[in-house]
Structure 1
C-alpha cells in the first residue's frame, strides 16, 4: 500500500511493506525533470524533421547538406540516448540505471560532441573552398568525398573516445545536472591529449577559414581590384550564398551554448573550489545540450534552400501528387 504526504513543495511517497522505501518528489526536481523531458522531445522531433527533410528533397542541393545531415544525426542520437535518461534521475535525485549505462552515456556524450566539433571544421573547410577556389569548387567538393570525410569523422571520434569505455575511467553522476559524465580529471594526460586532437585542429581551422571568408567579403564590397574577372564573378556568386552566414551562425551558437559550461569547469578545476549553486550547474549543462535544438531554428531562419525542402516535405505528406508537386516547387515546371 502506498501513502502520500503533501507539503508546499514536497510530496513523499512511501510503501508500508517490510521493505520500506521512501521516494521524495520535490517541486524543484519535478520542474527540472519537466525541463529535461521537454528538451528531449524538442531535440528528437526537430532533428527527425531535419533528417526527413534532407532525405526527401530531390532537387539540386549543396554539398554542405551532407555535413548538416551528419550534425542532425548526432543531435538525434543525443536526444534519444542521452537526454531522456536524465528525466527520472532528476525526479529521484539519483542515478538508477547502473554503472554500465552511466559509462555508456558518458562515452556517447563525448563521442557525439567530438563528431559535432569535427563536422563544424569540415563545414568551415567547405565554405573556405567555395570562396578560395570558386571556379573549381564543384570538382573539389563532391558529395562522395564529403560522405567519406563524414564516415572518417564518426569512426575516428568513436575510436579516440573509447578508452574510458574500456574501463580506464570511472563514470561520475553529476547530482546537480542529473547526468552521467566521464571523470576526465582521473586521466589528465589522456584528457589533455584528446582535447588537443579534437579542439586544436578544429578551432584553428574554423578561425582561419572564416577569417579568410569575411576578409574576402570585405574586399569585394570595398571594390578591391581583382585581376581575373571570371574569378570575381564566381567569387561574388559564392559569397552571396547564405550558407556562409548560416554555417557561421551554427558555429557561434554551438560555442555560445557550451562556453559557460567549459568556463565554469575550468575555473573549478584550476581553483579547486566548486561553485555551490545547484541551479547554475544545472543551467550550464543543459544550455549546452540545448544547442541540439537551436540548429534547427538557425536552418529554418537562415537557409532558403532548407525552407524550400521543408515546405516540400510538409506538402508531400498531405499531397498524393508528390513528384509533380516537388517539380513545381523547385521550379522545374511552371505553376498551374
Structure 2
C-alpha cells in the first residue's frame, strides 16, 4: 500500500499485517543517490586505471606498481564498502547484520592503512630517484616494488585484525550511514595502531618530499655540482613529472581526510558532538571521495599514464589500430 504524507515524504508498508514501515524522504534519497554515484565513479575510474596499467607493455616506472596497489585498494572500497551504505541511507538503519558490519569496518581501516603505507613507499621511491640517480634502477626494481606491496597488504591486514576477532562491537554511524569499528573501547590498541601506521608514514613523506623539493630548488638556482654525470642524472630525474604527480596524490589524500580527522579529534577531546547531520555525512564521504581523485590526478599530471590510457582506449576500440599506433611510438602492447 502506498500513500503520500506530504510533498517530501512517502511511506511504504512492507506488509499489510506488519506495523513496520519504511520512510523515504527527499533528504535520504539525495544522500543515497550521492553514495551510489560515488560508488559508480570509484569503480569505473579504478577499473580503468588497473586495466590501463595491466594493458601497458612499454617501459614503465617502478612507481606504477605502487599506483596499481592504490587502485586495487580503491576498487575494493568502491565495490564492497561504499555500495553497502546506499540502502541504509534510505532506511536510516543497518540491515545487513553485525558480521557484515564488522567486516566492512575492518576492510575500511585495512584499506586506509594500505593507502597510507603505499604513499610512504612512493615517497621513498621518489627520494631514491633524486638521492641516488645513478643507482636508482639498481636499487628500485619492479620485483622489489611488488614485494614491498605484498608486505604492505599482509602487514596492514594483520595489524588491523584484532577488532575483527570480536574484541569490540561494530558501530553503525547513523549520520554517515556506514559501519565502523568501535576504536574508543580499545584505546590502547587504537593509539598503538595509529602510531604504527601514521608515525613512520608521515615522517618519511615529510622528509623525502622536503629533500626532493630542496634539490629541485637548488638545481633551478644554478648551484654547481662537482660531478657532472651526477648533475645530469639528477636533472633528468627531477624533470620527471612523477614527483609532482605523487606529491599531488599525497596532498589530495590528506585534504580529503583532514576534515574528518579534525572533527573527530575535536569531538573526542572536548566531549561534545556537532549536532549537524550533514556535517558528519559530508566529512566521511569527502574522505572516501579520495578514491576517485586519484584518477583525475593521474590523467592531469602523468604523461605516461595518458599515453598508456590512449593505447588502452585504441586497443579496446580497434585492436589493429591500437597495435599500429603503439608500434609507431615504439611500444607494442602485445610484446
- TMscore range, shorter length: over 0.9
How far has the Cα of 1:73 moved from its partner? 0.1
Greater Cα offset, 18-27 or 151-160: 18-27
TM-aligned CA deviation for residue 324 of structure 1 = 3.0
- TM alignment of 1:105-124, pairs within 5 A: 105-124=104-123
Does structure 2 conserve the Cα–Cα contact (< 8 Å) formed by 1:260 and 1:284? Answer: yes
The alpha-carbon deviation at position 7 of structure 1 amounts to 1.1
Counterpart of 2:268 in structure 1 is: 269
Scaled by the length of structure 1, the TM-score of the pair is 0.97
Q: Does 1:91 align with 2:90?
A: yes
Q: Provide structure 1 residue ranges, at least 5 long, that are not aligned to the other structure.
A: none
**Does the 8 A contact of 2:9 with 2:25 survive in 1?**
yes
Secondary structure of 1:227's counterpart equals coil
Does structure 1 retain, via aligned residues, the 8 Å contact 2:11–2:22?
Answer: yes
Does 2:317 align with 1:326? no
Superposed counterparts of 1:213-252, under 5 Å: 213-252=212-251
1:252-306: per-residue Cα shift (whole Å, max 9, x none)?
A: 0000000000000000001110100000000000000000000000000000000
Q: Paired residue for 1:24?
A: 23
Q: 1:115 to 1:15 in 2, by over 3 A?
A: closer
* Match of residue 49 from structure 1: 48
| Inter-partner Cα distance in structure 2 for 1:81 and 1:257 | 20
CA–CA distance in structure 2, aligned partners of residues 146 and 46 of structure 1: 23
Deviation sequence 1:21-47 (CA, Å, 0-9, x none):
211001000000000000000000000
The count of aligned residue pairs is: 331
Partner of 1:134: 133
Runs of 5+ in structure 2 lacking a partner?
none
- Whole-Å Cα distance in 1 between the matches of residues 108 and 170 of structure 2? 12
CA contact (8 A) 2:256 2:287 kept: yes
1:10-29 Cα shifts (integer Å, max 9, x gaps): 11111452222211001000
Say which SS state the counterpart of residue 11 (structure 1) adopts: strand
Contact 1:43/1:293, CA 8 A, preserved across alignment: yes
Q: Once the two structures are superposed, what CA deviation does each residue of 1:118-148 show, in whole Å capped at 9, x if it has no partner?
A: 0000000000000000000001000000000
> Aligned residue for 1:312?
311
Secondary structure at the aligned position of 2:59 is classed as coil
State the alpha-carbon separation in 2 of the partners of residues 331 and 300 from structure 1: 21
Give, in whole Å, the separation in 2 of the partners of 1:54 and 1:231.
31
The CA RMSD measured in Å over matched residues stands at: 1.0
The verdict on how the C-alpha distance between 1:135 and 1:95 changes in structure 2, with shifts beyond 3 A counting, is same
Checking the alignment, whether the CA contact within 8 Å between 1:177 and 1:282 is kept in structure 2 is yes
Q: SS at the partner of 1:241? A: coil
State the distance in 2 between where 1:173 and 1:194 align.
21
Q: Retained in 2: the 8 A contact 1:4–1:14?
A: no
CA distance in 2, matches of 1:320, 1:192: 52
